Chains A and B, each alone.
Chain A
């Protein structure tokens, strides 16, 4: 059974075909959710919820559209709602402890990570991206980590390409600033590729 047939049979209510659909696409959805939420448990909850919604709304999905874009959009929306809720909670906590608990990146007197390897730097970027505002984080994950094009990112996030670029600019600038404050400077690593 190819993916198109799986899709059509799922749309008609065949639960075994839908299981195959879930097996086929869950990896993409889970990777995206983990990167957006930073927690595998939360990501699995979001992906589970997303696929149940897919099952519910699949009959109305236009097969001419790209299924992965639709799936990404549902996962993204669910994750974005969680991010917003988490951020509201963390703001409340921060308000109570701002003076005694400065941000981890950029603490005064912190020794720079001079020997940071590219892999470590990548993990550092991943960690720092969790501190970005939800909109910037979403765009950064879709574009720079999931490697969607600007157009695809705009479609999944539901924004204009101009807004993608605007958020991307702010996200990269913020991440770079935090890397620098953490002592990660230029020329310490060479990851190559499209930079």
Chain B
């Protein structure tokens, strides 16, 4: 199939090694042979952004800073003085707990209005859910604010993979978790059934906003499907807690 200029433009901006698949590479090459405008753009993009190579050459590390080391060690001593305990070493979470945290964080990231998913967009989703005849829960979106703290703790501990949303390690079926486990985890983080309900209903509607989330937020179709598969169980267990 012939590549469109819009897709070519996207691939042209992904010009560094490992950013295009071999199939994309070949398709783009074919396109550029027949499209003067895109061929010119390809040359200009690389030329315009070439100076970033200089920044890479500066190296990955800043010069050592003894003052910073002293500050860190002072912070560690202060932590210990205040009775801040280190995490126990040998204890490891059971598999389902880790999976449940990851799954819970998917939902919580929806709820907490990350940069990529603003309250405005959540409110729009809520309207769309209502318009679609789905039983939207009436909770204000501000109700999700307290989750920020819990999320921050998960992130700081390195237990939640990152700021955008969790992702399982490649090949890990991290969503193999039953609805009751997920509900318990959500409950322990302060999630309320009404807000979770909005999100699950929105996922079920699968509107264009979700497609946007899908692309930017890393929540792929498979993950959505698994969440929806546990939808009723999650909600009923959450309500029962």
* Chain A interface residues toward B at CB < 8 A: 11, 13, 15, 18-19, 22-23, 26-28, 30-32, 34, 44, 47-49, 51-53, 55-61, 70, 73-74, 76-78, 80-81, 84, 87, 118-119, 121-122, 124-126, 133-135, 138, 143-147, 149-151, 154-160, 162-163, 165-169, 172-173, 175-176, 179-180, 184-187, 189-195
Subset of 23 A-B contacts with CB under 8 Å: A22-B72, A26-B69, A27-B60, A27-B65, A31-B61, A31-B62, A48-B71, A51-B72, A52-B72, A58-B86, A59-B88, A73-B158, A84-B115, A122-B52, A122-B55, A147-B56, A158-B163, A162-B220, A176-B45, A186-B48, A191-B52, A194-B17, A195-B50
Q: Majority SS of interface residues in chain A?
A: helix
Asked if A57 and B115 make an inter-chain contact with CB atoms under 8 angstroms apart, the answer reads no
- Contact residues of B between 67 and 93, Cβ < 8 Å to A: 68-69, 71-73, 75-76, 79, 84-89, 91-92
Q: Majority SS of interface residues in chain B?
A: loop
B232 in contact (CB, < 8 A)? no
Given contacts A19-B69, A138-B163, are A192 and B50 in contact (CB under 8 A)? Answer: yes
Please name all residues of chain B whose beta carbon is closer than 8 Å to the beta carbon of A184 when the two chains form the complex: 48
Asked if A122 and B47 make an inter-chain contact with CB atoms under 8 angstroms apart, the answer reads no
Asked if A57 and B48 make an inter-chain contact with CB atoms under 8 angstroms apart, the answer reads no
Interface residues on B, range: 35 or more
Please name all residues of chain A whose beta carbon is closer than 8 Å to the beta carbon of B57 when the two chains form the complex: 193
Asked if A191 and B54 make an inter-chain contact with CB atoms under 8 angstroms apart, the answer reads yes
Please name all residues of chain A whose beta carbon is closer than 8 Å to the beta carbon of B14 when the two chains form the complex: 165, 168-169
Asked if B68 and A30 make an inter-chain contact with CB atoms under 8 angstroms apart, the answer reads yes
B18 in contact (CB, < 8 A)? yes
Asked if B61 and A160 make an inter-chain contact with CB atoms under 8 angstroms apart, the answer reads no
Asked if B13 and A195 make an inter-chain contact with CB atoms under 8 angstroms apart, the answer reads no
Please name all residues of chain B whose beta carbon is closer than 8 Å to the beta carbon of A70 when the two chains form the complex: 158
